[in-house]
Structure 1
């Protein structure tokens, strides 16, 4: 006998729904949706108004009481944005934004992971050619570097000093 009644339905995960539909269901979500749409529209306008190098590095913050916060990744971009502030303010007002002041702030982005160290690969013939070349040179930093490189890539991979 099954421990589940014959009236229970098998579990089926809910169908995916568009975010806009979910956010429109309650007043709280509707307010959140309005804020998200406002930020997205502001981001689009900033991308059109700012030079390319700034548009990709500036994020809009809150628009509160006529003051708009703009965030940049570092102080050099913030300084450049402050130079453009009067023109940007006028352009935003012309596009219908009720902005009276801009506040430029630096919000560093998290450091990305460093690129992996390259591991050079050399054929045995190439390593032998480097070794032969290093033996023909007079003692010098170049000769020592070539000898170390050849030793690293020769079979066995150990350096000879």
Structure 2
């Protein structure tokens, strides 16, 4: 018997607009006015980031180019200590960037502390009933004692021991 509705496990997804394929992403970005106006700035910042990393590799790994506007370069550092180290290297950075063709007359440093939220590691809270622990214990004692079962028997023994200590 045929019904007009799809089976309950089938999901029909309708897209309002077709998303670009990976090969056409550049043309999509260029065709989108809002994004295409940002592309030159993004490319310039990425290029500046590479240059700065090449000039100050040890220090600049954690730093980020924020923007270049009115011949002023703004950089971000994750903490004040790194900002202090970077500040000492600014004359070198500025002169090297100028030698490489960048029109930079000033460099500003902003400390931008990133909030890192650490996910707590999940605590296994498996609660087994006494009957389940007895069943695992019995299984561990009834398995044939051979090299093939040795790992399983040991694991069952540890499981039973752990659950006896929790009581």
TM bucket (normalised to shorter chain) is 0.5 to 0.7
TM-fit CA distance, 1:158: 4.7
Distance 1:112 1:64 in 2: 32
Higher mean alpha-carbon deviation, 74-83 vs 11-20, is at 11-20
Give runs of aligned pairs for residues 75-90 of structure 1, distance below 5 A: 75-90=80-95
Deviation at 1:14, TM superposition (A): 4.1
CA drift of 1:47 comes to: 1.2
Structure-1-length-normalised TM-score: 0.61
- Cα distance in structure 1, aligned partners of 2:40 and 2:95: 24
Residue correspondences, number = 117
- Counterpart CA distance in 2 for 1:31 and 1:49 is 29
Alpha-carbon separation, structure 2, partners of 1:26 and 1:117: 43
Range that drifts further, 84-93 or 18-27: 18-27
| Match status 1:24 vs 2:22 | no
TM-score calculated relative to the size of structure 2: 0.59
Once the two structures are superposed, residues 50-77 of structure 1 have per-residue CA deviations (whole angstroms, 9 ceiling, x without a partner) of 133x222110011111111000000000
Structure 2 residue 70 is matched with structure 1 residue 62: no
> How far off is 1:89 after superposition?
0.4
Alignment correspondent of 2:109: 104
- Structure 1: how far apart are the matches of 2:121 and 2:32? 47
- The match for 1:35 is 41
Secondary structure in structure 2 of the residue aligned to 1:21: helix
CA RMSD of aligned residues (A): 3.0
